[in-house]
Amino acid sequence: MPVPTNLATLDGSPLSPDAIANKVVLFVNVASACGLTPQYGGLVELDKAYGAKGLVVVGVPCNQFGSQEPGTPDEIKDFTKTKYDVDFTLLEKQDVNGPSRSPLYQFLVGDGEDIAWNFGKFVVGRDGEVVARFEPQTPPDDSELKAAIEKALG
């Protein structure tokens, strides 16, 4: 099962399949009012460090954990840009667990454990398959996360 192609960006416009085709994608469920929110800074650094090599960082706002992403799309965009200078792709808000789990997270999680909290990370290879999963507490500068990205990038 490949990455769903009907993804929408934070402003509701379709994400072009070309944006992630043949790329290594790091999907992260994000939130603006979480103790882990400073990880946005590290995600920006990953995007800068590996973007030219084929990494695409994609943030997926989620309000399922302690209602820590209650904002509107404009509020989320303004917060992430102003506070962390985020310019990587942010998708529309999605549920990552439960009966309303989005098709993207149905694909990412598969038969695995539910997402534990905000800032869970999935590395998807150029072939569209999940190659690694990291728990929320794993910071973006973690050596194992970077190694998984580098291996996927080839």
CA 128 to chain centre: 14
Rounded CA separation 125/6 (Å): 18
Number of alpha carbons in the 13 Å side-chain half-sphere of residue 43: 33
Q: Which residues belong to the active site? A: 34
Strand partners, 61: 30
- The amino acid at residue 64 is Q
- Reference 61, options 8, 114, 138, 135; nearest CA is 8
Token pair 């960006």: residue: 9
